[in-house]
Structure 1
Amino acid sequence: MKEDKRPILVFGATGRQGGAVAEALLKARWPVRAIVRDIAAPKSVALRQAGAELVEGSFADLDTFRAGMDSAHGVFSVLPANLSETEEVRIGCGIADLAAESGVAHLVYSSGASSGDTPTGIARFDAKPRIEAHIRWLPVTATIIRPMIFMDMLINPAFGLSEGRYTFFLRPDQSMQLIAVEDIGKFVAAIFADGIRFSGRTIKIASDTVTGRQLGEIFSEAAGRPVIYSRFADEVLAANSDLGQLAAILDNGPLADHVDLAAMREINPEIISFRAWLATQRHQAFDALIGSDRTSHSA
């Protein structure tokens, strides 16, 4: 990387996505400015020690981000998952407006693979296409990424791993695509490195494809004992609107779409499979659910 590269301003830098992006950019020798709420917090201090410049800012006052965008090459925008739909739209559009006003060369917005033309009825999903539409209207070079389902989200007590089973939304032979959060950072670093190629594009990104049956097999292998896979019963999905909506999105909605993993590897040659991720990346969360007698397996 040339030494005269201008910095990338990274939102959510102490969180999962933003942290992965900051790490990947620093590894690629981009100067990173990290938006943080508290510069004295341990994660903020770790970012500074890794080489990032810290910028203190608050979503309550978007104007605090203006100085961070001064002379920046790019902005990576990702928002917390706990915002209301109204707040998410306000903040997401406001960050994009500031990027356009500041004249940054490239805005990368992390949306979601559930985004589409038809509302899902789930607020955290339906805010994102509204932000996407606003970004496309602005005079700024932008790339929108839509990460598929996070691998981390599958390691959830609600799905029954502690009981030797895994109950999820997929039928046994139905497939879905997943992404490792670490891979999001690598995709974003590749996008900033080749802005002309990715200018104006909206890209779904994924690391692996798995079926329901394969989930049972992978969990069994990682646990060292059988984990029985099943789909939520139809009556359970019918009785719980949130579960039913998620199943519908996987059955016939945006999450039913699959991206070409070969094309993903062209952008990020290091994409990681769910089997490899489970074996090497998230031992503690998985071990806590399946017990201490886990047998280690290599990917």
Structure 2
Amino acid sequence: MEAETARPLILVTGATGNQGGAVVDALLEQPGRWRVRALSRDPSRATALAARGVEVVAGDMADAGSLKQALTGVDGVFGVQNSRTAGLDGEIRQGVTLVDAAQAAGVRHFVYTSVGGAERVRGIPHFDTKWEIEQHLRATGLPATVLRPTTFTEVFTMRGAGIGLGMMAAGLGPAKPLQMIAVRDIGVFARLAFEQPDDFTGRALELAGDELTVPQIAAALKAAGRPARYPRLPKLVLRAMGKEARMLFWFGESGYRADIPSLRALHPGLLTLEAWLSGRSDRLGRE
């Protein structure tokens, strides 16, 4: 029992979702190194995690009272929120409440996943919320690492991906590249942060494993036997979308700036789009 409790205990939020699930996977790839606790509003939906040896606890990131027990004895926290399910104000409330609860519990390392460019651009609603949470985290003085993922490679194989690629083409044009990251690799970087707190605490890392133009993305999809056609949309279609198009125009104006060679030095297995397409396991649909 003493050896068991000596292993660091990591609380993972969003563990039944894409990013949180990737963090759980990365931690469990090192058997005997970590104890993993998953926060879930409905533990009955996390039976697959429990079967893998993850401790599943009930809790709501917006409810400080429910987080107190979940954070008992925790060494590190992985925090992720989803504005699509919580709403923009709800995302901020969840993020701030989790950070404050972690600080009160004496957590030694908080890893927060934000979004690439959050510190550089305003007016993209789901970037602004994450920047607000980042600022609150920084103000608390809690030892922390911020991960800022770029576009997920997974979006290129989701239902309706052709329309999304067409909108990206309208914002980027044919020659400007888009940076992207496999969700699996976000989990690996989170694990690296927990493994090497002296090197990662206080850092904010923009994450990407590849950088391709839209035509190059389509070519990679076609080579992998995936649907690769996308509509040629005029920019006026994007303008009609209002605030939701701000991100697409930003892709063309400035966009992501991850230092991919430096990231690959930290994580040599960092996936390109081609590598991800050739070796992916179909686990889409997790929120």
Q: TM-score, normalised by structure 1?
A: 0.84
How big is each residue's C-alpha offset from its partner over 1:180-218, in whole Å with a ceiling of 9 and x where there is no partner? 111111110011000010111111111211111201211
Instruction: Give the equivalent residue in structure 2 for 1:257.
Output: 256
Cα separation, 2, equivalents of 1:185 and 1:118: 25
Alpha-carbon distance, 1:261 to partner: 1.6
Alignment of 1:221-260 (within 5 A): 221-223=223-225, 227-228=228-229, 232-242=233-243, 244-253=245-254, 256-260=255-259
Instruction: Give the equivalent residue in structure 1 for 2:107.
Output: 104
Instruction: Give the equivalent residue in structure 2 for 1:146.
Output: 148
Which structure carries more relative contact order (alpha carbon 8 Å, separation 6+)? 2
Cα separation, 1, equivalents of 2:282 and 2:137: 38
Instruction: Give the equivalent residue in structure 2 for 1:37.
Output: 41
Instruction: Give the equivalent residue in structure 1 for 2:166.
Output: 167
**Partner SS state of residue 11, structure 2:** strand
Instruction: Give the equivalent residue in structure 2 for 1:278.
Output: 277
Alpha-carbon distance, 1:101 to partner: 1.0
Q: Percent identity, aligned pairs only?
A: 33
Q: Is the 8 A contact 1:105 1:141 kept in 2?
A: yes
Matched, 1:91 2:94: yes
Structure 1 gaps of 5+ residues are 286-299
Coordinate RMSD, CA, aligned: 2.3
Q: What letter corresponds to residue 271 of structure 1 in structure 2? A: L
Alignment of 1:49-198 (within 5 A): 49-82=51-84, 83-120=86-123, 122-160=124-162, 167-169=166-168, 170-198=172-200
Alpha-carbon distance, 1:60 to partner: 4.6
Instruction: Give the equivalent residue in structure 1 for 2:26.
Output: 24
Alpha-carbon distance, 1:114 to partner: 4.0
Q: TM-score, normalised by structure 2?
A: 0.88
Structure 2 gaps of 5+ residues are none
* Equivalent residue pairs, number: 275
Instruction: Give the equivalent residue in structure 2 for 1:297.
Output: none
Cα separation, 2, equivalents of 1:191 and 1:248: 32
Q: What letter corresponds to residue 139 of structure 1 in structure 2? A: G
Cα separation, 1, equivalents of 2:83 and 2:92: 12
Alpha-carbon distance, 1:154 to partner: 2.2
Q: Is the 8 A contact 1:84 1:124 kept in 2?
A: no
Q: Is the 8 A contact 1:207 1:272 kept in 2?
A: yes
Q: Is the 8 A contact 1:114 1:249 kept in 2?
A: no
**Partner SS state of residue 223, structure 1:** coil
Alpha-carbon distance, 1:168 to partner: 3.6
Alpha-carbon distance, 1:284 to partner: 8.7
Cα separation, 2, equivalents of 1:284 and 1:127: 27
Cα separation, 2, equivalents of 1:284 and 1:17: 12
Q: Is the 8 A contact 1:106 1:192 kept in 2?
A: yes
Q: Is the 8 A contact 2:155 2:161 kept in 1?
A: no
